Amino acid sequence: MSLPVGDLTEVVSSLRVASEADNSRAEHVSGMIADVRARGDDALVDDARRFGAPGFSRDDVRVSSQAMGEAVARMHGDLRDAILMATAQIRATAEALAPRDTEVALSAGQRITSRAVPVNAAGCYVPGGRAAYPSSLLMTAVPAQVAGVGRIAVISPPDDDGRPSDLIVGAAALLGIDEVYAAGGASAIAALAYGTATIAPVDVITGPGNAWVTEAKRQVFGTVGIDGLAGPSEVLIVADVTADPRAIALDLLAQAEHGPDSPAILASDSSAFIDAVEVVLAEEPPNIGPVTLVECPSRARALELADAFAPEHLELCFNGAAEAARRVRCAGAVFVGPNCATAFGDYVAGSNHVLPTGGSARFASALGPATYTRRMSVVDMTDDAVETLVPHLSVLAEAEGFEMHRRSAEIRSAGMREKA
């Protein structure tokens, strides 16, 4: 497609794959949440049996320490090494980003300390179904560990043997996490939010999932915190003739691999480069997701499209990409230069792959230690600060009609004068 000269709103809308309307999903999810709240573990058992684990029982809800050890023992060395290496990259980045206490001494004399306080308990949802995703476990659990969360519960759908994938169980064991539960979908989110006899409730739920998981997170938000409402994964690539068309085509196909609702978009000011990418795409097996090639009148216009689309992943592959990256305002993660395939961010670069989607990069951020951290103000009022600030407080309180606010402050200054 060719990018028009005017407003980009309609273009952005057309590039996103419209989700098929399902007005009954919210109602169904609400019923599943209510069932877990009412019946607890029994609801999880019925859910697991219904979705492919016919012998599932209450004893299977929590994965035993023995099963966790066996999962690690079955893990081949290369995979174990890869998990440990990826963990080290993610942990190093998270440690650099971890919120820290900040103290401010103000001119009137008061001191304000903003404390970074981790939540007490976090629940990490790891999807199952089509495949196992240990990388999603690392991306959610490691930042929670860095933040100092005292209790981390991992929950993932059971296979037909009644346990989550060995990849998930083994990765959790390698991280030193001993709470792993077998449950999936909306029921798993409800169990983390409200608790059951086996699963104690948490304070924050993180991790990607399907539309049912996302709807459940939407409905429990407020009872617990969430990392965000994940939509289909997406990439937008801005590239020109200096890029390798085969590499860019594979980046697009890697995104399309996520599924038929995952946009993979190339924006380029070179029709020759678009043609070259199109040739490579035709040589590869048919992709399962939409790939869109957009011809732009200029690179500047391509970058405008990128900011308007606010993609989860943005790749910049042209001379001057590093400078352009500093001007990007709306993207979940930016990958700069010919080496930076999005796949590195998905696994081993160290950045987090739980990112804002569907345009929410305009206001949301990647998952990190801050997701599991609260900011708590500690206020220390000196005598000088009281004397300086009470007159101004009194004026403001009177203006808002809060007499007791005024009097509760004025009694402090009066008490100081009596002692003097």
Report the catalytic residues. 312-313
Residue located via tokens 């005292």? 150
Q: Which residues are within 8 A (CB) of 114 and not within 5 positions of it... i.e. 6 or more apart?
A: 101, 102, 103, 104, 375, 376, 377, 378
- In this structure, what DSSP letter does residue 59 have? G
- Return the closest-CA partner of residue 44 out of 36, 33, 34, 54: 36
Nearest-angstrom CA–CA distance, 359 and 329: 12
User: What backbone torsions phi and psi does residue 233 show, to the nearest 5 degrees?
Assistant: -70, 155
Measured CA to CA in angstroms, residue 202 lies from 120, 124, 132, 191 at distances of: 8, 10, 23, 9
Tokens of 162: 């009644």
In 86-116, which positions are buried (b, 16+ CB within 10 angstroms) versus exposed (e)?
bbebbbebbeebbbeeeeeeeeebbeeeeeb
Nearest-angstrom CA–CA distance, 48 and 158: 7
- In this structure, what DSSP letter does residue 62 have? B
Nearest-angstrom CA–CA distance, 419 and 16: 69
- Return the closest-CA partner of residue 257 out of 290, 228, 231, 304: 290
Nearest-angstrom CA–CA distance, 58 and 71: 21
User: What backbone torsions phi and psi does residue 367 show, to the nearest 5 degrees?
Assistant: -65, 145
Instruction: Region of 221 please: left (phi>0), alpha (psi -120 to 50) or beta.
Output: beta
